[in-house]
Structure 1
Amino acid sequence: MLRQVSIVFLLLLIVAPFSPAAAAFDTPASHAIVMDHRTGRVLYGKNIDEPIPTASMSKMVTVYMLLEELKNGSVTEDDTFTVSEKAWKKGGSKMFVRVNDQVRIGDLLRGIIVQSGNDASIVVAEGLSGTEEAFAAKATARMRELGLTDTTLKNATGWPDPDHRMSVHDLARVAQLTIRHFPEHYEIYSEKSFTFSDIKQGNRNPVLYSFDGADGLKTGHTEEAGYGLTASAERDGHRLIVVLTGLGSSRERSVEANKLMQWAFRTFENYTIVRAGKAVDEADVWLGQKVRVPLVVGEDVNITMDEAARKAMEVTAVYEAPVPAPIRQGEQVGEMIVRIPDAEPLRVPLLAGEDVDKLGTVGQIAAAISYMVFGNEKE
C-alpha cells in the first residue's frame, strides 16, 4: 500500500532571526540570475534562458575544457602550446604572448582567467583541438552533454559572432561545475594579478576588491553584449553564483553586482532540512524479524530559500508499506519530497536505516496471521 506521511521537522540549525520577505529585486541589467551553488536552484532570474552574446564570460568554457584535460592527465601545467600568428595578432585583451613561442599551460591558464587574454584563449583552443573552430564545436558538444542547452560557441574568446551565444543560466552552470569539479584550480579565479613577459595585469573582476567572500569569476564587455559579470562568493559555507549582463559601463557593472550579491545573501539562507542518518519515519515490515525499519536520508538535505518559503515548506515521505523482508541497510524504500513555493519539488531517496532479516517459516506464518488480525502495532 502506498503511504504518504507529512513530516514536520524542528530545524535546530536554523538560527537566522525572522525577517519579513524581501521585496522583489530589480536591476537595469538586461539579463541576470542568482543561483545557489549547492543545489542549482534559481533564486532570482531575469531573462535567464535567452541565448545572448557573452563577451569574455564564455572564456569560462575554454578554461573548463582545459581543466578537464588537466584532470584526466592528457596535459600537465608544465606542458607547452605553440603560439600561432592568429593568436598573436588577435586584438582585445591580451596576455602578450609572442608568435612561435612555447608557453606553459599553467601560464596560459592564468593568462585567460586573470588577464582575460584573447591570445591565450586561442593558443589553448589550437593546442587542444588543432583549430579554434574545431575547439568551439567540441566545446559546444561538451556543454550540451553537461545540460547547457542554450550554449552555442563559435570561438574560444567570446569575440562577437552572430551565432556565439550562451544564456546567463548556462554561464551560472559553467561556474557551478568549475567550482564543484576543479576546486584546486578554481582558486586561480581569485588571484588579483598575473605577470607574464614582465607585464603585470590586474584581474578585472570588481567584486574581488569590494565584496567580502567573493572569489571569482569572469567579466565581459563588447559593444553588442554591454558590460557583464559572472561572480561567486561564499559566506559561512553558503555559496551563491551571480550573473548579470547588458549594463552600460564598468562602474554600473560593479555597482549592480555588489547590490545583487548583497541582496541575495541578505534574503536567502541555507537551511538543513534533515541530517544524514536521521530517522525521517518508520515503515512497517512484512515478515521480518523486526516489525519496523527506520527510514533515513543518505546525506544532509539542504535548501536555500527565504523566510516566507521556509514557512510554506511541505515535507512528505512516500513509500510502499509494509516493506517486505529481507531489507538491507542503505536500500532505497521510498522518497522524501520537499515542496516550497515557486520551485520544482526536491526528491530525496529514503533509505533503510538498518538490516531486517526475514523470519523463518514458522515465524512467517505467525506474523502473517498477527498482521492480518491486529496490524503492525507498535511494541
Structure 2
Amino acid sequence: MHTKTSPLLPLILAIAAGALAPSSVAFAAKNATGKHAASKAAVPKKAASGKKSAAAANALPPLAAQVALADNAPALPAKAWLLMDYDSGQVLASANAEEALPPASLTKMMTSYIVEQALRSGKLKTTDLVSVSENAWCRGTSAESCMYLPLNSQATVIDILRGIIVQSGNDASKAIAEHMAGSEAGFAKLMNAEAQRLGMTKTTFVNPTGLPDPGHKSSATDLAILARAIIKDGSEYYPIYAEREFKYNGIKQGNRNALLYTDPTVDGLKTGHTAEAGYCLVTSAKRNDMRLITVILNTHSAQARADQSRELLGWGYSQFEKATPIQPNAVVATAKVGFGKADTVAAVLGAPWLLTVPRGQQVQTTVELKPGLEAPIAKGAVIGKVIATSNGKPVGEAPLVAQAEVERSGWLLRAWQHLLQLFGK
C-alpha cells in the first residue's frame, strides 16, 4: 500500500521546496519477536528525476467538473474528485464521483471509524490489549505500510488506532479486525453494515486494509460521506487525524498527508496508494466557520494528490461563503391540521440552518409541507421541509417541525369536521 516515509525533517524541507516526493524505507526483521530496524534508502538524483518524469507521463487528462455550484471549477487529472461542504453535506463540485473505484488505504477510514464508535459506546476501552497474530504481523518488507507490531505481542487499542490513522498500518488494521470480529472477513461485514447505515451506496469492503481485491470498491461521494461521519461522530478522536507523526516499537513514522505540513487549516484525513488505485487523498480543512472536505481518487503521484486537494480547497474557499437563509425560531409556514383541537400549526426550523453558498448570490427558499396532516401532532414532529436554491441550483434543505403540540379533537368535534370535509368546507 504505502512505503515507509523518510524522517520528518527532510519531509518538511522537501515540502517547503515544493517538491515533496515519495521515499521509501526498507525494514528487515531483527528477530523472531518481530523487532525491526529502520534504514534510510538512498535514491540517486537521476533515478528520482526519472520517477518524476514517469509519474508525469502517467498523468490522466484533466477531468472537468460534472457538478459545480459556482463558476470556474478546476479540472483535475484524476479518475474522480469531489468537494463537499461539511455542515450540509452538499457537494459543491465533483467529477465522476459515483463510480466505484479501488480506495486503497482510504479503506482504513472505515476501520478507524468503527474503532472510534466502539470506544464511544464502551464496547472497547483505550487500554484494552490487542494481540498480533501471524496473519496480522508485517514481515518487515517495504511493500506495504505497517505499524511494525511485533509478532505475538499486544498493543493498546489507542496505539492501534494511531497506527491505523497516522502510520496507515496494515498490521494494526488486521489486528483490530481480528480482535473485534474474529477475522478480517467478519470485520468486513461490520464495515459494510456501517457503510449501508451511512448511505454509502457504491461501497463494498472485503478487508480492513484496502489491499487489492476485485470486489473492494468505493466512490468519491461515499468516502466524503464517511469523512463527514468521522468528523461529526468521533470528535474526541478526530484530532489524531492531524497528528504528523507517531512512534511505536522504536520506529517513528510521519503522516503521509502532505497538507498537514503546509496548511495549518487542514486537520485530516487519510492517504491511500496501490498500483491499481493510484494515489488517493481525503482531506478536510476549516477556515473561520467553514469546513470543506475534498476527495481525490487515482491520480499519478503523491505530489499530485496534494496539489489537487490544495487547488480544490483554494477554489472552494474563494468561491463560497456561509449564509443563514432563515433565522432560528422564525415561523416559516402555517400547516393545516385535520381532526385536531387546532386547525393549524406553525412550522419552524428544527435547528439553526447554516448554508454554504456561492459568494454574492442571493438565496431563495421554497416550502414543502406534508399533505394530509392529522392530529395528534407532537411538538417538534417533522411536518415538512424548506429547500434553498441559489442561481437556480439547490444548495441545501432543512426539516420543518411543529412549533407546538396539536391534540386530537373529541369524537363530537371530529364528527363535525368529517361532515365539513364531506361538503368540501
SS at match of 2:162: helix
Identity %: 37
Would you say 1:48 and 2:97 are equivalent positions?
A: yes
1:117 aligns with 2:169: yes
Cα distance in 2 for partners of 1:317, 1:126 equals 48
Q: Tell me the residue number matched to 2:388.
A: 338
1:275 to 323, 327, 330: 327
Give the equivalent residue in structure 1 for 2:43.
none
Alpha-carbon displacement from aligned partner over 1:279-304 (angstroms, at most 9, x marks no partner)? 33467899999998654222112222
Q: 1:267 to 1:288 in 2, by over 3 A?
A: same
How far residue 259 of structure 1 moved from its aligned partner, in angstroms, is 0.8
Structure 1 residue aligned with 2:75: 26
Task: Indicate yes or no: 2:284 matched with 1:232.
Answer: yes
Name the residue aligned to 2:128: 79
Aligned with residue 201 of structure 1, among 253, 264, 268:
253
Equivalent residues of 2:118, 2:124 under 8 A apart = yes
Q: Distance in 2 between matches of 1:150 and 1:123?
A: 26
Paired with 1:319 and 1:155, the residues of 2 have a C-alpha distance of: 43
- Give the equivalent residue in structure 2 for 1:16: none
Residue type of the alignment partner of 2:269: L
The whole-number CA distance in structure 1 between the counterparts of 2:248 and 2:294 is: 30
SS at structure 1 position matched to 2:116: helix
* TM superposition shift of 1:335: 3.9
Preserved CA contact (<8 Å) 2:333 2:367: no
Q: Distance in 2 between matches of 1:255 and 1:55?
A: 19
**TM norm structure 1:** 0.80
Distance of 1:336 and 1:101 partners within structure 2? 55
How far does residue 23 in structure 1 lie from its aligned partner after superposition?
Answer: 1.4
**Worse-matched range after superposition: 310-319 or 52-61:** 310-319
The structure-2 alpha-carbon separation of the partners of 1:293 and 1:356, relative to structure 1 and needing over 3 Å to count, comes to farther
- TM-score of the superposition, structure 2-length normalised? 0.72
In 2, the alpha carbon distance for the partners of 1:237 and 1:72 equals 29
Structure 1 spans left out of the alignment, 5+ residues:
1-19, 366-379
Cα distance in structure 2, aligned partners of 1:165 and 1:203 = 24
User: How far apart are the structure 2 equivalents of 1:125 and 1:331?
Assistant: 40
Q: Which runs of 5+ in 2 are unaligned?
A: 1-68, 417-425
Aligned with residue 145 of structure 2, among 77, 88, 93: 93
Change (3 A) 1:110 1:56: same
Out of 95, 109, 121, the residue aligned to residue 60 of structure 1 is 109
Higher relative contact order (CA 8 A, sep 6+): 1
Residue 174 of structure 1 deviates from its aligned partner by 0.9
Comparing 96-105 with 349-358, which one deviates more in the overlay? 349-358
Against the structure 1 CA distance between its residues 330 and 249, is the aligned structure 2 distance closer, same or farther, given a 3 Å change threshold? Answer: closer
The secondary structure found in structure 2 opposite 1:40 is coil
Q: Distance in 2 between matches of 1:204 and 1:154?
A: 24
1:314, distance to aligned residue in structure 2 (A): 3.6
Q: How well do the aligned residues superpose, as a CA RMSD in angstroms?
A: 3.3
Contact 1:275 1:299 in 2 (8 A): no
Q: Distance in 2 between matches of 1:353 and 1:112?
A: 48
Matching residue of 2:399: 348
- SS of equivalent to 2:71: coil
Cα deviation, 1:219-247, whole Å, max 9, x if unaligned, reads: 01111111110000111121111000211
8 Å CA contact 1:244–1:257 kept in 2: the answer is yes
- What's the CA shift string for 1:85-116, capped at 9, x where partnerless? 12213651111110000111110000010011
CA distance in 2, matches of 1:250, 1:192: 16
